[in-house]
Amino acid sequence: LLGTLLLTRAGVRVSAGANHLVAGVADRSCLYWTYLRVQRPTNDLSMGWGSNSQWRTDFRRDHVVDGTLFYNVDAGFEPEQDDDPPPLDVLRHRCSTVTDLGDDLWPYYLFHSEPLDP
């Protein structure tokens, strides 16, 4: 699936309506699946496990296949299977987008798929 792997970059500009992104939340909330960002809280599975843990933690892999987005493909559960799953925005964007949900969520076990063009 390497040909369908989605790669992300930091430092992009994004514009959207207030119903989708709120300035001060989307750009300053905790960024999950990230070890370190200057002036922004982060949360990563490798944190707190020692100096070698960053290299032993699996990468998050997202794919697009036949018009369908697959988020965190190595995880085990669809959010609907959990009693109280983190909001899908955290899985889609790796952070809170409208309401700051804090830095104590645990989205690492979640998998989700959705059409590329809803």
If one compares 80 and 69, the residue with the highest pLDDT of the two is 69
Q: How confident is the model at residue 73 (pLDDT cuts 50, 70, 90)?
A: very high
What are phi and psi for residue 90, nearest 5 degrees? -65, -35
pLDDT value of position 10: 65
Long-range contacts of 36-40, Cβ-Cβ distance < 8 Å, separation of 24 or more: 37/10
Structure confidence at residue 117 (pLDDT): 83
Instruction: Kindly report the pTM of this predicted structure.
Output: 0.82
Each residue's pLDDT tens digit, 88-108: 889 999 999 999 999 999 899
Classify residue 48 as left (phi > 0), alpha (psi -120 to 50) or beta: left
